[in-house]
Structure 1
Amino acid sequence: MAYFLSLDMGVQSIGWAVVPKNAADFEKLAMGVHLFEGGTDGDIEKGKDESRNLVRRSARALRRMYRRRSQRMIRLSNELKRLGLLPQCRMHIPEDRNAMLEELDRRFAYFWQGGELRCAHLLPYILRKEGLDQKLPEHAVGRALYHLAIRRGFLSIRKAVGDEKEDGVVKKGISELEKEIETSGSRTLGEYFSMLDPEKIRIRTHWTSRKMHEDEFELFWEAQAQYHPAMTPTAKKRIHRAIFFQRPLKSQRFLLGKCRLEPTRRRAPMACLEIQRFRYWQKIMDLKYTVGKDFTEIPLSHDQQDILADALENREKMTFAEIRKLLGMKKTEKFNLENGGEKQIRGNTTSCRLASVLPDRWPKMTEKEKSILLNEILQYQSSSGLEKRLRKLCRFTLEEAKAVAYLQLEPGYSELSRKAAGKLLEKMKEERIHFKEAEKAIYGSPLKKEDECEFLPPLCADRGAVLTNPVVTRALTELRKVVNAILRKYGKPERIVVELARDMKRSKKEREQISEKMRNQEKERNKAKERIIKELGILEPSRNDIQKWLLAEECGWHCPFTGKQITPASLLGKEPQFDIEHILPFSRSLDDSFMNKTLCDVYENRHVKKNKMPFEAYGHNEEKYREILTRVQNSEMPKAKKERFTMESIPEEFKSRMLNDTRYASKLAVSYLGKLYGGVIELPDEDGKTGRRRVFCYTGQ
């Protein structure tokens, strides 16, 4: 029987319908709903779900942290015992280790000032302080170094993307501690802590940086090495490594998607030269200009294309007005891309930025040398590590290495690999054709078939290496069960329709209004980006930076919750003092839209607002809550956002994350279902051109 298969995918259900193609078979119409448990625990529809692996993963991470800390301390104690700086002891046995440390503390009690009991907590810090100015006994040196290694401070990895809110709190705490140390006149972290009263100020509540501990180690070792012959430069390197070595983060490259044209290759970073050039050549080949009263569109000549390409290679961007001037065109001649609201064409940002910090070296480098340098820049997470690598590998000066190591390149990844982009770019330039034509010429027709599958194969054989969303994984796994059961009974359908859970279809007028709104938002984002570049010198403001700036403008550059004034430096400087905060907690509302975001002082956010609604956090304090609402009412926030500050509960509705999960699953389902037809989801017409589709994806009602 010839039939069409309709599927309605959800995160906990799949609706299906077998619709006969011929009216005579209509009595065979069949339909049903397959229900299944979601890929996470909890109520998915209410957004109160979490990964089944979360508890296990958290416990495993904690065990790993404790184990590695214990191993680090044992390695350090072995090194110290080898140098005679600690007495012999079985450090791997907690009872023996604690007994040894207590014995050392009793022996060095004469360093206590006043002999008060509270000073027992300060003894290791006092040893670290006294060791800067006078000779300490060998075992006192070991006790101080052992204590220094227990908590070695926060190590920031600049190129790693982490929790911005938590990262901001840590860095602000470190900055405040640095100011306190400087104000007190202390030379090191240990000296500052030795002057505190632990009964009034708890030492462990302070955020410390790795650099503070390393600086103290250098000063302490230099002061004591003159008294103890065993403390040689070689010993210093071994002790330093035992205390401060930290293994690099595990590469997440295996999670990076595959190139759609070169399936064995990973997608390339946007900063790659091949991707940068492919991007602007795409625009050049798309570019046309209108002439005459009938607005005839004419593509650029080969000479014009070459002139524009040379200019874009050395420019980060060019406006259409600048392009007209470059090509000697009239102001009345408009480009087709301008009609879509575009204002500019992006050039080779990577080349421009590297040329700005290497003005003498970059232009003289060969393409191979440039590629090698860029590979080094992209693979290093640590700026200091990259700096050392560049000085050794490329023979850079200290100034050149520092400039390159801290250079900000364009973030993100392309959908293509370097190999695919290089092939397409060469074909486009050689034959002056559109990239789609180049793709067809190199990789063949998109209608090229693979082996058809009689039934859908297991998901892990196709996407297991890159699909990490548990909700989507479960939905596609259940989809396979449903479709294969239908195939066994009815055979292969002529057409499959997958419905997405999306917004309701809109009228033409509504679509026009939405398009206009999106263009206005893009203008505001561009203005904010220009202000950030001008006032703070951030070459590539992130999406998050731009969003924070727009939120600051919306709330009048004052924190809605505390009333504190917000400045560009306090917003996006090295030590941000304000976080993006969800008005209605994201963990409960799952609303990550701009409408649910504002700014909040870091301390207020961490200690007062926390994971609460404004009413829950401040409703008990009528005066403060009234002040917050007054600031909100006087701001430029839209009415809908202002109302969120007054809500006493979160409406139970279809949450945004559930929508996103369903959309994602449906899109992946289209390519997954295409395997039934050898990866071909379109049928050719009689003339050989693309015609009827066999797998559709529609918006939901």
Structure 2
Amino acid sequence: MSERILGLDIGISSLGWAVIDYDKNNSLNNKIIKSGVRIFTIAENPKTGESLALPRRNARASRRTIKRKKRRIKGIKNLLVKYLDFSKDEIFSPKNIFNEKKQKDVWQLRDKSLKRELTNKEFARVLMQIAKRRGYKSNRKGEEKENSEGKKVLSSIEKNKKLLNNYLTIGQAIYQTTKETKTRRNKKDDYNHSISRDMLVDEINIIFEKQKEFKNPFVSDNLKQEYLELFLKQRDFASVDKMVGFCTLEGKPNKRAAKASYSAELFVTLTKLINTKIIDSNHKERSLTKEELEKIILLCHQSEQPTYLKIKEIICLDESSHFKNVSFYEIDKKTGEVSKKTTKFISGFKGFHGLRKVVEKTFSKTYWQNIAQDKKLLNDIATIFSHHKSDEKINNELQKLEIKILNEDEKQILIKALIENIHFDKFLNLSIKAIDKLLKYMLLAKRYDEAVELCKYIKDEGTKQKFLRALNKDEQSELTNPVVKRALSQTRKVVNALIRVYGQFDKINIELTREIKKSHSDRKKIEKAQDEYQTLKQGIVKNFIENFEKEPRGNELLKYRLWQEQGERCIYSGKEIDIKRLISEVNYAQIDHILPFSRSLEDGMINKVICLSKENQDKKNRTPYEYFTDEKKDWHWFEEFVKSLKNIKKGKRDRLLKKNFDENSEIAFRDRNVNDTAFMSRFIKDFIENNLELKSKDKQKVFTRSGTLTNMLRHNWGIGNKSRDNHLHHAVDALIVAFSTQSEVQRLSTLSAKIDGFTYEKSEKKAGQLKFVPPLEHFRDEVQKSIDDIFVSFAPRRGVKGAAHKETIYSKKAEKKKGTFEINNGLAENGEVKRVDIFKKDGKYHFIFLYPSDFLKKELPLLTIKGIEIDDSFEFIFSLFKDEYIEIKQKNKEPHYGYLKFVESDGRFNVLPHFQSQLNKKDNRISTGSVEYIKKYQVDVLGNTFEIKREKRVGTKKQR
């Protein structure tokens, strides 16, 4: 019986989908129903990875800062009128006392204020300058010490404080030390003249005292008091209490635990340790015992990152036992040699040791040993520092804590030390209440899932509905990655649209491209590594051609790469491999899977070596360790030989020297190479499975497939390499993912086992018969037929938000150019075109380009790009936004079809064909000067197109 399966290939800005019918018992019933591609913009700045909202947020913050500064300066000016005998005109008019020419250097006046009486003008200038640049004030001292820029600022402030040993005020010190150069302002990356606000407050007090001594008639206590109030007024940093989500197990009102709290750190450390496995002397796998966990936790209290050798010693692990997938000694990445360093266990006790260092430095180890016993106190301290973002609020909350071993004076000393040195942020998904319940069982060596069950937490699996719902508020806060949020939002739209057309599915197979599971910086590293690999590959190809005088075919290049990597020797015998015979004789040297493919389903370069055919024949379906021990070969020699190969990377070396590959290890490897268990994949899988009705009666209905599996199937099923020149390869991947059912994976494994079992003399003939059979006849042709029928759907960008103008404001004296407008007593250039309004009259088309600033006006402009004023005699046709599909024809030319990507200032459209992935500005530019006709189409999420004949022109919000 056939099942209807949906395959999804989800990327950071793309979604490939495929609907198939699949019958595990009869491949003749297998059928491709439909496939497609949805393209959308990535939810981050492609260059920096920052939020798309960050520029607006920064600009808004700058506007607020400027607004507050103006308000403060206005208040100071009012004080000058009130107390220094000035008229409002003298202070507020454009020709005020501060703009007069040939005045004394105000820095000199700050020096003179300590030596003689100042006039009211001089005093006003001094007070105004100090108020304008009121020095550096840190809301969080501990945070600044972890910030490289903050460290530089604090370092410069400390350096400038030393000047006060020789001078009375910081103003006097700066003037006297810069009289010759007059360089008193910081420049980019130069913090030499940084001063603190406290230093300026001291200067203000001293100036008032000196001027009082000099009988200055304008000095008064009221002026000083009101001036300091305005000078020091600053909005405090808000706490993040309201932004912290609720516990995923306990729910409201239990807030999530601070990551640096003791309970959270113990939970994280135990999770790591419980998932760590030991391979004993009989090559059997076991977990750590309760007693071993206790000893390791005590060790982690003493050292945040103890070595695995130390852990092995403290739990009395015998010499022949080791931790699974852990090398006790680190391997140098460049040389491949064992370094002097030993591998460390990274515990979760970073916050614990941060507090320990502060307490021990402030008091002693004895004090810390007593404080460390109070787990609630440690939790409370971490919570306070994680929730509050200003020293003042942190201090207020710390004052409320009871620290039994300290008297009041000691408590104040400790609070001061903590504020100056501690900075905590980030939260787990669980509350301290839930964590403490789980810890009772995890300390008994129970896994997290077992502890959850023992605590009788019932997982809310949601209410399954016919259509996939949107993320709720809690899920939005749990899923913090905006890139994944947008991808999931687009996935939901596509899935629901497909259900409306094809009905409910039986199962869904999902692949997330590895980019979507990585941070922006990690994706950049991947791109860099890919570029480096391509450069390396080109060099190897060039070298290959020089040696063999021909282009490499099939697996010839792979053989050559492995031959170079292994020092031109057979990996299992160490014998030299003759380069002349390497390529010319098919059965002289062969590629071997280190861990047999049928047992690991790992087909990457990391699991491949080259060896003489006789060695491959003898090794059969075994690991190197099994081969050497079964055949009584010298394993010690092999270990030393592998370690001597400098070009072998750690991952491959670990596979070559792997001793334990029992049934559990096989299952783990195969599961990893078939199913994607990364957090993002599990989140999306669980969300779909818990909220969408699926028809299958099987227990599991949603599967996450790894890129390794789909890439393997792509080649085994004869599809070949991806073509990234267009978007259609996303649909090809989705088709492969859709057909990557459990039955096909089992078939792949079974067939591989048969091939692995043949000796090489016998296998040549049989292997020709044992082909990897695709899931349906003429699979490659059927795939091609399906993607030929695809119309790629782009998500249109109809938003008109964005910078109203470019950042630079020019003087009004500058020449007013096309595309500029007046703002803030200056001229600014327009931002990017957000919308194109198209009118028609007497058979001619007219275009109005609209910028973000236009949508802030009462009415939209009516002037075309050619300067023609639009009136009632013009007919409005429609508006165009980015990524809307159009057909445009110029006179005497063939029509162009494609998505509008952007508009150039000279009026040309840049149009991208629906399947094309890269924009070539020269090939895709279309002039709007001689348009015969232009049509606009709506493209739905599945790629269906509908012509839009007419629209009503939408005005601004003010206009409506």
Choose the corresponding residue for 1:125, options 86, 91, 107. 107
TM-align CA RMSD: 4.9
Identity of aligned residues (%): 23
Distance 1:678-1:436 versus aligned 2 partners, 3 A rule: closer
Aligned-pair distance for 1:484?
Answer: 0.7
Correspondence for 2:446: 433
2: distance between equivalents of 1:434 and 1:673? 22
Correspondence for 1:14: 15
Distance 1:438-1:418 versus aligned 2 partners, 3 A rule: same
- CA deviations on 1:61-95 (whole Å, 9 max, x unpaired) are 3322221101122333445666x24646389xxx7
Aligned-pair distance for 1:323?
Answer: 4.4
5+ residue gaps, structure 1, are: 107-116, 504-585, 597-638, 640-663
Larger Rg: 2
Correspondence for 2:420: 406
Contact 2:258 2:383 in 1 (8 A): no
- CA deviations on 1:456-476 (whole Å, 9 max, x unpaired) are 223576755566766544433
2: distance between equivalents of 1:335 and 1:457? 47
SS of equivalent to 2:493: helix
Distance 1:199-1:324 versus aligned 2 partners, 3 A rule: closer
Is 1:698 matched up with 2:706? Answer: yes
Distance 1:393-1:136 versus aligned 2 partners, 3 A rule: farther
Correspondence for 1:650: none
Correspondence for 2:260: 271
Which gives a bigger RCO, structure 1 or 2 (Cα 8 Å, sep 6+)? 1
Correspondence for 1:66: 66
- CA deviations on 1:621-660 (whole Å, 9 max, x unpaired) are xxxxxxxxxxxxxxxxxx9xxxxxxxxxxxxxxxxxxxxx
Distance 1:339-1:54 versus aligned 2 partners, 3 A rule: closer
Is 1:210 matched up with 2:196? Answer: yes
Choose the corresponding residue for 2:171, options 146, 169, 190. 190
- CA deviations on 1:568-593 (whole Å, 9 max, x unpaired) are xxxxxxxxxxxxxxxxxx99x95598
Contact 1:79 1:239 in 2 (8 A): yes
1: distance between equivalents of 2:242 and 2:346? 32
Is 1:89 matched up with 2:88? Answer: yes
1:458-469 to 2 correspondences below 5 Å: 458-459=470-471, 463-464=475-476
Aligned-pair distance for 1:32?
Answer: 1.7
Correspondence for 2:866: none
2: distance between equivalents of 1:339 and 1:40? 36
Aligned-pair distance for 1:347?
Answer: 7.1
- CA deviations on 1:260-281 (whole Å, 9 max, x unpaired) are 4345555433320111222344
Distance 1:14-1:307 versus aligned 2 partners, 3 A rule: closer
1:294-305 to 2 correspondences below 5 Å: 294-295=282-283, 302=290, 305=293
1:225-624 to 2 correspondences below 5 Å: 225-226=212-213, 227=215, 236=224, 238-251=226-239, 259-262=247-250, 264=252, 267-282=256-271, 285=274, 293-295=281-283, 302=290, 305-306=293-294, 308-310=296-298, 312-313=300-301, 315-323=303-311, 326=314, 329=316, 332=319, 334=321, 336=323, 339=326, 343-344=344-345, 346=347, 348-352=349-353, 353-354=355-356, 355-356=359-360, 357-359=362-364, 361-364=367-370, 366-382=374-390, 386=394, 390=398, 395-397=408-410, 399-408=413-422, 413-429=427-443, 432-444=445-457, 449-459=461-471, 463-464=475-476, 471-502=483-514
Correspondence for 1:531: none
Correspondence for 1:618: none
SS of equivalent to 2:259: coil
Is 1:219 matched up with 2:196? Answer: no
Aligned-pair distance for 1:496?
Answer: 1.7
Aligned-pair distance for 1:486?
Answer: 0.4
Q: Which has the higher strand share?
A: 2
1:141-180 to 2 correspondences below 5 Å: 141-156=123-138, 157-160=140-143
Distance 1:216-1:288 versus aligned 2 partners, 3 A rule: same
Contact 1:349 1:409 in 2 (8 A): no
Which amino acid in structure 1 is aligned with residue 196 of structure 2? R
Contact 1:670 1:697 in 2 (8 A): no
2: distance between equivalents of 1:303 and 1:669? 35
Is 1:101 matched up with 2:109? Answer: no
Distance 1:351-1:139 versus aligned 2 partners, 3 A rule: same
1: distance between equivalents of 2:310 and 2:693? 43
- CA deviations on 1:163-203 (whole Å, 9 max, x unpaired) are 96765776677678778x679x5543432554588996454
308-317 vs 414-423, greater mean Cα deviation: 308-317
5+ residue gaps, structure 2, are: 188-192, 329-342, 403-407, 531-646, 648-675, 712-960
2: distance between equivalents of 1:345 and 1:29? 50
2: distance between equivalents of 1:12 and 1:286? 34
Q: Which has the higher helix share?
A: 1
Aligned-pair distance for 1:425?
Answer: 0.6
Aligned length: 520
- CA deviations on 1:333-357 (whole Å, 9 max, x unpaired) are 6453684655346374544533524
Correspondence for 2:6: 5
2: distance between equivalents of 1:274 and 1:306? 15
SS of equivalent to 1:477: helix
> Normalised by the size of structure 1, how large is the TM-score?
0.60
Distance 1:692-1:223 versus aligned 2 partners, 3 A rule: same
Contact 1:277 1:313 in 2 (8 A): no
> Normalised by the size of structure 2, how large is the TM-score?
0.46
- CA deviations on 1:529-582 (whole Å, 9 max, x unpaired) are xxxxxxxxxxxxxxxxxxxxxxxxxxxxxxxxxxxxxxxxxxxxxxxxxxxxxx
Choose the corresponding residue for 2:37, options 8, 33, 36. 33
Aligned-pair distance for 1:372?
Answer: 3.3
SS of equivalent to 1:219: helix
SS of equivalent to 1:4: strand
Contact 2:239 2:388 in 1 (8 A): no
Which amino acid in structure 2 is aligned with residue 61 of structure 1? A
